[in-house]
Structure 1
Amino acid sequence: MPTIKTASQSLNEDDPLDDFERRQITLNEITKAVYVAGDGPAVIVMTEMPGISPHVARFSRWVRDAGFTVYMPSLFGRDGAVPGVDEGIATFKRACVSAEFRAFATNQSSPVTQWLRTLARFAHQECGGPGVGAIGMCFTGNFALSMMLEPSMLAPVVCQPSLPLDDPAGINMAPEELASVRQRLEREDLTVIAYRFEGDKHCKAQRFAAYTEALGERFVARVLPDNAANPNTPPFFDKVVASPHSVVTAHLIDEAGQPTLAARDEILAFFTLRLGK
């Protein structure tokens, strides 16, 4: 795997995202802004709440620097913004009532995943290679799993999946879709890797247990200790999230030997393995 460069952008200031190409991509008659950068097989990075923060952009740059073309769709929030409390809460409330998401629905898939599956197919056509990788985080955490209904998707990563918000053991995915994904994972000898912190209040052990019951050994779970989380986070994470949560973004400690950095490296290696780099 290529050496990962250190991102030069400050994590404490709004990120201009000017090393990405901001494209307007229309799929299924719906247009969304998508930030694209890099070369090689496609990896779709889906932002956590409350939007494409400097930390999310940093992770996308790590994926880019590992030899992939990153597609980072704008799904909510102000792109590049440091997550503040008031703005973050307002974004969260809008997303909860949006028709694109099923924030409180157990056993229902969020409609936006249909657009994301089409984005995976579109990105594969543009970039070639054996297939596409994807990572979802927090509000989008389980979306990479839903995207496995698209045949080009080969490398799904599920980070701290937080939906449905009101059922710790719930799965934000229709049962028939989940069954189809399990069949595909077994048929093609594929796996899903998933991450959470042990004391995460928004993605509890019950949720990983439900995924394990649904997917069996194809669901590879990683649970990090709470003391592995970075204690210095943006205001939204400090005041609103208020627990170890974001494994490869806000709570990642960018130092050798740290469990969160090891998780990042494992994810990049997973993309490399599945996408043939």
Structure 2
Amino acid sequence: MATTRTRRDDPLDDFVRTTVSIGGESRTVYVTGSGPAVVLMPEMPGISPDVARLGRWLREAGFSVYLPSLFGHDGAYPTAEAGEAVVRRACVSAEFRAFAGGGTSPVVSWLRGLARTAHAQCGGPGVGVIGLCFTGNFALTMALEPTVIAPVVNHPSLPLDDPGGLEIGEEDAARVAERIKRDRVKVLAYRFDGDKWCTGQRFAAYRALLGEWFDGRVLPADAANPDPSPFFRDVVGCAHSVVTAHLVDEQGHPTVRARDEIIAFLAERLSRGTPG
């Protein structure tokens, strides 16, 4: 399953580029693979080569991968200057709620529709969803869609100005907690120790909301790739992206174990659809 990290743009030419329209809104979605559906949401500053690499690993593991374009330039190698510009645009976009008090990001409604579409096309007991960084919490709020049965919340960074906050409105939070506990839907989550964008306070808030159904796992900061792309080195500035930019692609490495745990979680849930 090993791949080579690229320091140039990724053409994404082994994905099928499609347009998905939901509720009158159309977005580009890159699709690959076969088997149960997994919606993989990009992290800032977009569908980077490392995010695409994760999509390919999921494909190799036997999933149909749906990778929506939500921000940035698709396939671009994350430079610091271009990445900062993408973050600034997203923070003022009406589609996202980057700061405390903003509630649930409106784009999540479209993403729930994408999960329904993916399930209709792929079948099976349900859909897996993976959120990363800016989209991390979206994997939880997407669980209001009944077809979502395997949510993975990776290093959720929103709200940017509240280290102990969750990017979700009060009503949605109550509904999500009720659905998670009623249907016994485990939420798998990862972060690095010392991550200033996804703190221990944030994981504590997830635990307070979801109780035993939140499985938050913490990796040591010194396990992170010490030479990530410029955006993650100069803008993010800490160990952050467990299974993408800061993953070290070596057998037995803690970040690779995290990737394999995520794949095993998805495989178990999407093959049988029963409580896990």
TM class, shorter-length? over 0.9
Paired AA for residue 182 in structure 1 = A
Give the alignment partner of residue 267 of structure 1, picking from 240, 244, 262. 262
Consecutive unaligned residues in structure 1, runs of 5 or more: none
Amino acid in structure 2 at the alignment position of 1:7: T
Q: CA RMSD in A?
A: 1.1
Whether the 8 Å contact between 1:42 and 1:133 is mirrored in structure 2 is yes
Paired position in structure 2 for 1:223: 218
Task: Pick one of 94, 103, 119 that aligns with 1:99.
Answer: 94
Pick one of 2, 5, 18 that aligns with 1:6.
2
C-alpha distance in structure 2 between counterparts of 1:146 and 1:106, whole Å:
16
Map Cα deviations across residues 184-231 of structure 1 (whole Å, 9 max, x no partner). Answer: 222222210110001111111111111111111111100110011000
CA distance in 2, matches of 1:263, 1:174: 29
TM-score, normalised via structure 2 length: 0.96
Q: Which residue in 2 is equivalent to 1:254?
A: 249
Q: How much has 1:257 moved relative to structure 2?
A: 1.5
**In structure 1, distance between residues paired with 2:115 and 2:159:** 24
Measure how far apart 1:106 and its partner are: 3.5
Per the alignment, residue 42 of structure 1 pairs with 37
Identity %: 60
Q: Is the 8 A contact 2:229 2:245 kept in 1?
A: yes
Distance 1:93 1:184 in 2: 34
Q: Which residue is equivalent to 2:233?
A: 238
CA drift at 1:183: 1.6
Shift of 1:107: 6.4
Partner amino acid, structure 1, of 2:183: E
Instruction: Say if 2:110 is the partner of 1:110.
Output: no
State which of 195, 209, 215 in structure 2 corresponds to 1:200.
195
Note the 1:40-119 alignment, pairs <5 A: 40-106=35-101, 108-119=103-114
Instruction: Decide whether the 8 Å contact of 2:181 with 2:210 is kept in 1.
Output: no
- Cα displacement string for residues 13-37 of structure 1 (whole angstroms, at most 9, x for unaligned residues): 1000000000011111111000000
User: Who is 2:205 aligned against?
Assistant: 210
Structure-1 separation of matches of 2:174 and 2:224: 33
Structure 2's unaligned 5+ residue stretches are none
Contact 2:186 2:214 in 1 (8 A): yes
Seen in structure 2, the aligned counterparts of structure 1 residues 260 and 133 have a Cα distance that, compared at 3 Å, is same
TM-score (norm. length: structure 1)? 0.96
Q: Which residue is 1:170 aligned to?
A: 165
Contact 1:157 1:194 in 2 (8 A): yes
* 1:276 matches 2:271: yes
- Retained in 2: the 8 A contact 1:107–1:170? no
